[in-house]
Amino acid sequence: MIVLSIAVRAKPILRTRVVIGPAFLPCSIWRAGRVQVLCDAEQKTPIRDHVLHILPGLCYSVSIIMQHKIRTATEPLLVLVRGGGDLGTGVAHRLHRAGFRVLITELPQPLVIRRAVAFASAVYEGQIRVEGVQASLAHNLNQAQELLQQGVIPVLVDPEGALAAELQPPVVVDARMAKRPLDTRINAAQCVIGLGPGLHAGHDVHAVIETARGHNLGRVLLEGSAEPNTRVPGAVQGFTSERVIRAPCAGVFIGLRRIGDLVETGQTLAEVSQQSIHAHISGVVRGMLHDGLVVSNGQKVGDIDPRAIVEYCFTISDKARAVGGGVLEAILLLQSGRHHRGSEQGRGQRSMSDVV
């Protein structure tokens, strides 16, 4: 950090915050006619133009003086992601790599299908690494804090969503993909973001991210809802519902093939209560429910990728990356306050800078 000393004509006593670039910075105007602005060192180059722009009539000369270094205690923004499935993992992975501190909450028995690329798998395995980013199960907040300090994403079991109230993180992302309203509230944090249908921007959350494949995938919606759930999976090489593996009856699920296995049409993949489940198409097993879970009749228990590229089973999907990018955009947009408050998308919204 550096301290900038700026000479001014007027000599009031004022302590406020000024907008310099994307940031709200502390500003003190002293009786002797000096303005002190705290800012990051890398902002010193454009600072003169910004100050002259925001303080017209006051500034007649601007001098940038490196008086002394100031160590900031500000930590990266904490984001709580509810749901560590493949989409939630795409969000958490992108935010983690962008420098955010990310914490994931999950159910005691996550019903995640794409287990090889889902941080929720840490609940079963203790830890999982997805594209170079590690997530580990934490049994309490102290363990979670230790993991965050180590650069690891903590995963906590929190079926009731109590941690959001206890932690009070500035950002909460509902990545559970329930496709219907649950317990997400717009006042749960300064910035609340929801994925997919079932949540209304401006009412349930501050922003909704479109999750339907197509032209609008990953789009940030500051008003309204995402496209409604059609109950038909997105097409991959022309296959839709055929890709999905469903339970033939209620009972205990047992997988007979592993994620990454190449299979042919008609091959046995799994069983529920001793009833076999067969592949409807050829391809690679991209996802499979964890063994021993109790499922209902017709419940999704796996999926097959007809492209048959094994690598895709162990990397984040294009869809999850797009959704993760949408969440990152929404956080920065709401934090900066650059969205148009009077426009069609931004009407009635408040930025994080408004709330802080």
Per-residue confidence in pLDDT tens, the chain, 356 aa = 334 444 433 433 344 444 433 444 444 433 344 444 444 444 444 444 444 444 444 333 333 333 333 333 467 899 999 999 999 999 999 999 999 999 999 999 999 999 999 999 999 999 999 999 999 999 999 999 999 999 999 999 999 999 988 999 999 999 999 888 888 899 999 999 999 999 999 999 999 999 999 999 999 999 999 999 887 888 888 899 999 999 999 999 999 999 999 999 999 999 999 999 999 999 999 999 999 999 999 999 999 999 999 999 999 999 999 999 999 999 999 988 766 443 444 434 344 444 33
- Distance, C-alpha 119 to centroid of its chain: 13
What pLDDT, on a 0 to 100 scale, did the predictor assign at position 338?
67
Q: How far apart are the first and last CA of the chain?
A: 21
Domains and CATH numbers, the chain: 2-63 (no CATH), 78-231+317-350 (3.40.50), 241-306 (2.40.50.100)
What pLDDT, on a 0 to 100 scale, did the predictor assign at position 235?
84
d(CA 11, CA 186): 42
What pLDDT, on a 0 to 100 scale, did the predictor assign at position 234?
80
- Residue 313: phi and psi, rounded to 5, are -70, -20
Task: From 14, 2, 22, 25, select the one nearest 58 (Cα to Cα).
Answer: 14
Asked if 37 and 7 count as a contact pair (C-beta separation under 8 A), the reply is no
What pLDDT, on a 0 to 100 scale, did the predictor assign at position 267?
96
How many CB atoms sit inside 10 A of residue 250's CB? 13
Asked if 54 and 85 count as a contact pair (C-beta separation under 8 A), the reply is no
Task: Give the start-end residues of each E strand in 147-190.
Answer: 153-157, 171-174
3-state secondary structure at position 103:
strand
Torsion sign (Cα): 322, 327, 332, 337: positive
